Structures are given as structure tokens and as C-alpha cells.
């Protein structure tokens, strides 16, 4: 069944997502879509215009981390170090609240 789903994704879903992504990109709209067509097998389509929020970037990183918390948390820590944060959990990890502060 997973091979059938992968073929279905490749033939039917991915082209539609690519078209939606292109339309969003033309309008400057951030776009992220992830499909799990088999257990632990994903396809992700994304567009990131210059003007975008953190949430869409984090959604993309979460999707691309493939369930690996270290990848996701590492990215969140790097973003927080660059931009600052107000996260209780990042604070527990000793990530500075303000960019440029040392740990």
C-alpha cells in the first residue's frame, strides 16, 4: 500500500501542491504543505517570500525534522539566539532572552 500511496502522491498530490505553491509565491504568500504518504515517508512543498513570520518557518522546520526533536529544538535555539525570545522552555535551556547575551 505504501508504494501505491507514494505513486499517488507523486502523480496526483505533488503536482497540485506545486501549483498552489507557485500561486502563493506569485502573491508573496508563504506556503508549507507536508504529506506523509507512508509511515515516516514525507513530501514537503514550500515557498518563503522575504516577508514572512516565524511560525511559517518553524512549521517548515518541524515538517523537515522528520520527528527528530534535536533538529527542531536546535533550530529554535538558533533562531532565539538571533532574534530573542520569551519562551519558558528555551529559558530553561539557558538560551538568552535577548540577542547577543551570553549563556
Asked if residue 7 is part of any domain, the answer here is yes
**What does the pLDDT read at residue 9?**
96
Q: Is residue 39 part of a domain?
A: yes
- All three cell numbers of 8: 499517488
N-to-C CA span, the chain: 49
User: Whole-prediction pTM value?
Assistant: 0.77
Q: Is residue 6 part of a domain?
A: yes
Q: Cα separation of 22 and 10, whole Å?
A: 17
CA–CA separation, 83 and 51 (whole Å): 15
Domains identified in the chain, total number: 1
Q: Tell me which residue range forms the domain holding 28.
A: 2-50
| Series of mean pLDDT values for 10-residue runs along the chain (103 residues) | 88 97 96 94 93 90 92 93 92 92 75
Give a yes or no: residue 28 inside a domain: yes
In a domain, 57, yes or no: no
Q: For residue 85, is it within any domain?
A: no
95 class by beta-carbon count within 10 Å (0-12 exposed, 13-18 middle, 19+ buried): buried
Q: What is the pLDDT of residue 63?
A: 92
pLDDT at 32: 97
Q: Is residue 25 part of a domain?
A: yes
Amino acid at each position: 500500500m505504501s508504494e501505491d500511496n507514494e505513486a499517488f502522491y507523486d502523480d496526483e498530490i505533488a503536482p497540485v501542491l506545486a501549483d498552489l505553491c507557485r500561486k502563493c509565491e506569485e502573491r508573496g504568500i508563504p506556503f508549507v504543505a507536508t504529506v506523509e504518504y507512508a509511515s515516516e515517508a514525507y513530501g514537503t512543498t514550500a515557498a518563503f517570500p522575504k516577508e514572512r513570520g516565524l511560525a511559517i518557518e518553524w512549521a517548515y522546520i518541524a515538517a523537515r525534522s522528520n520527528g527528530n526533536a534535536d533538529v527542531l529544538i536546535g533550530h529554535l535555539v538558533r533562531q532565539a539566539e538571533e532574534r530573542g525570545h520569551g519562551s519558558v522552555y528555551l529559558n530553561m535551556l539557558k538560551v538568552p532572552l535577548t540577542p547577543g547575551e551570553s549563556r
